[in-house]
Amino acid sequence: MESRAMVLEEGKERTTNQVKGLPITLLRVLILFVTICAVFSVISIYTLKHFGIESVVTTTVMKSSFQPCRGEQDRLLDLEDWIRPNSNPIHNMSDKELLWRASFGSRIKDYPFKRVPKVAFMFLTKGPLPLAPLWERFFKGNERLYSIYVHSLPSFQPQFSRSSVFYNRQIPSKVAEWGRMSMCDAERRLLANALLDIYNERFVLLSESCIPLYNFSFVYNYIMESKHSFMSVFDDPGPYGRGRYRNEMAPLVNITQWRKGSQWFEVNRKIATSIVEDTRYYPIFEKYCRPACYVDEHYFPTMLSIEAGNALANRSLTWVDWSRGGAHPASFGKSDIREEFIVRIRSRHHCKYNERNSTVCVLFARKFSPSSLKPLLDMDSRVLGF
């Protein structure tokens, strides 16, 4: 019994010593953990102090959460993206959206890139361009100095070859009726599409029956060096001028401001922009100038003579023969095409060009029928210069 009691006493004492030793072990582990945390904190503070919290956080976030897609989205937009003209004028904008977009303009005159100004040739047609081969010859070799826009009936599908200067140059179009505001809408649509190209500086409105009377270099220099835009503007006191005026247009337009002019114009970029951004004169001309008031003869001439009269040369660059009378000008076909005929058109005029007297007053002529194409192409190149 005594020996058993001693064994139990020893076991009890050994157990008691183990229980007492357990807190000491935990205390040692806790001290080690605190020491490690303190060392890590010191290292972290040193790192942040010398390298900065922003760089550390940014680097961590970029590596962990921001992985940009590769390809086009990686490239930032540069100036070239804003100034590069579209190779195809087709778009999905409505007229309202197009006019708004085209009204954008830089107020700084000095361009931050090399800009070679172009002439925009805008063809307002019903369908085909029967004189296209003549124009192809006219444009050849001057690709960087012009652009082309064609407005035809929406249903018309052009069949130009890929090598043609007219290939893919048809803009989104609507029906344009002679003498109605839809005709002016078509002209504004052409201007607006051409204004989207920042390189276009001058804008010429032409029809499918127009021909050039000089070579491209001569036409380009004449237009670019002019201080004025070319729009026929005059006060006609007769029944086909002031006789078309409506008193309801006052006070915005008084009868003394009422003007008439040719539909075929050439304007600079500033005037073109003022035409497409107009919301002041458009509503009253749309409402009050209807047949027998032919709005395409009055809207632009009247508006521009009021707003920018000093910028206009008050003449058109397109010759038209009204000598035969009637509602439409004379038309010319195969039998009319002679060298003397072309020379007579070019030399029978006197005008002012940059405040100086000149005998070069027209650069284009109309109306030439499809039958005139062959004799025009067969004519000695020295006559037209191309």
Query: Taking Cα atoms as reference points, which of 166, 157, 186, 191 lies closest to residue 174?
Result: 186
Does residue 51 have a pLDDT over 90? no
Average pLDDT of the chain, as a whole number: 87
Task: Compare 62 and 84 and report the one with higher pLDDT.
Answer: 84
188 membership: H or E segment, kind and range:
helix 181-195
> How many angstroms separate the Cα of 297 from the Cα of each of 263, 264, 303?
6, 10, 11
> Confidence band (pLDDT; 50, 70, 90) for 78?
confident
Q: List the single range of 52-56, 193-197, 243-247 with lowest mean pLDDT.
A: 52-56
- The domains of the chain are located at 85-105+114-317
Does residue 33 have a pLDDT over 90? no
Query: Taking Cα atoms as reference points, which of 326, 331, 346, 317 lies closest to residue 131?
Result: 331
* Long-range Cβ contacts of 157-164 (<8 Å, 24+ apart): 158/128, 160/132, 164/132, 164/136
The reply to whether the predicted model has a pTM over 0.75 is yes
pLDDT in tens, 129-178: 999 999 999 999 999 999 999 999 999 999 999 999 999 999 999 999 99
In this structure, which topology does domain 85-105+114-317 adopt according to CATH? Spore Coat Polysaccharide Biosynthesis Protein SpsA; Chain A (3.90.550)
Query: Taking Cα atoms as reference points, which of 189, 195, 158 lies closest to residue 174?
Result: 189
Residue 27 confidence (pLDDT): 66
Task: Respond yes or no on whether the N-terminal peptide bond of residue 367 is cis (omega within 30° of 0).
Answer: yes
